[in-house]
Amino acid sequence: MSEENRKRPPLGIRVQDHRTVYSGYLKVDRYKLSHEHYQGGWSQVLDREVMHRKEISAVLPYDPNRQEVVLIEQFRIGAWAGSWPHPWLLECVAGVMETGETAGDVAIREAQEEAGCVITELELIGRFFSTPGGSSELINLFCGRTDASAVGGYHGLSEEGENIKAESWPLADALALLEDGNICNAKTLIALQWLALNHGRLRENWRT
């Protein structure tokens, strides 16, 4: 970003109407709004829907001693509805943040619930919107130190309909999943690509 853009105040937004059109497992709001143009003036009135979801915390468990990562596999209805050929996706651990929780708290809790992993250290990879063109979902993504020697089996909360398979992968095999196109969700793509660049440093810092 240029120095000029960093100093420029945010462009304006005018909201003409805002209403909730659906509220269930997800919430959908409809907005009528306009925004300033970079070159001056205002856009036409835009009619847009936004899917609202609570903030997410996600973590890729990594064992620096064994050079392994932990991935989970579970059914994802969005992939199924989008005609993905195999809607049981390989992912890093993730969960919804509730009021009063920190992103780190949720990452540690979800790693235990979804993969049976104890996380002893966390490093923030980044924060990003998953699909900002139509969703407010914000993801806090971490890499977490763990001992993967006993990881495996089936996990999740039955009262939430979860049926999750956890498995440890040699780092080289997990990175090969990227090359083969077997990772098709953003948070896991980003986490594995980040780890490919940073595992040497983490191995030095986290090894016991």
DSSP string, 138-199: EEEEEEEE---TT--EEES-GGGT--EEEEEEEHHHHHHHHHHT---SHHHHHHHHHHHHHH
Location of structure tokens 């250290």: 121
Taking CA atoms, 49 is separated from 85, 134, 135, in Å, by 28, 7, 9
Q: What is the pLDDT of residue 5?
A: 58
Location of structure tokens 């900002």: 132
Is 101 designated active site? no
- The SS3 call for residue 125 is strand
Q: How large is the average pLDDT for residues 6-27?
A: 89
Given a cut of 80, is residue 84 above it in pLDDT?
yes
Gap between the Cα atoms of 101 and 26, Å rounded: 20
Give the model confidence (pLDDT) of 101-145 as tens digits: 999 999 999 999 999 999 999 999 999 999 999 999 999 999 999
The whole-chain average pLDDT of the chain stands at: 93
Given a cut of 60, is residue 1 above it in pLDDT?
no
Instruction: For residue 101, give the amino acid letter.
Output: E
Q: What is the pLDDT of residue 157?
A: 82
Given a cut of 60, is residue 190 above it in pLDDT?
yes
Instruction: For residue 66, give the amino acid letter.
Output: R
Q: What is the pLDDT confidence band of residue 46, given thresholds at 50, 70 and 90?
A: very high
Which secondary structure element, helix H or strand E, spans residue 10, and what is its range? none
* Percent of the chain at pLDDT exceeding 90: 88
CATH, domain 56-206, list 2.60.60.20, 3.20.20.210, 3.40.50.1370, 3.90.79.10: 3.90.79.10
Gap between the Cα atoms of 208 and 29, Å rounded: 49
Contact 139, 110 (CB under 8 A): no
Among 3, 160, 179, 204, which one carries the catalytic annotation?
A: 160
Contact 116, 173 (CB under 8 A): no
Q: What is the pLDDT of residue 63?
A: 97
Contact 67, 78 (CB under 8 A): no
Enumerate the domain spans of the chain. 3-52, 56-206
Tokens, residue 105: 């708290």
Distance, first Cα to last Cα, the chain: 40
Q: Residue 131, Cα to own-chain centre: how many angstroms?
A: 11
Instruction: For residue 173, give the amino acid letter.
Output: D
Q: How large is the average pLDDT for residues 19-45?
A: 95
The single-letter DSSP state of residue 87 is: -
Gap between the Cα atoms of 82 and 108, Å rounded: 30
Compute the chain's Rg from CA coordinates.
20
Asked which of 22-26, 71-75, 126-130 is least confident by mean pLDDT, the reply is 22-26
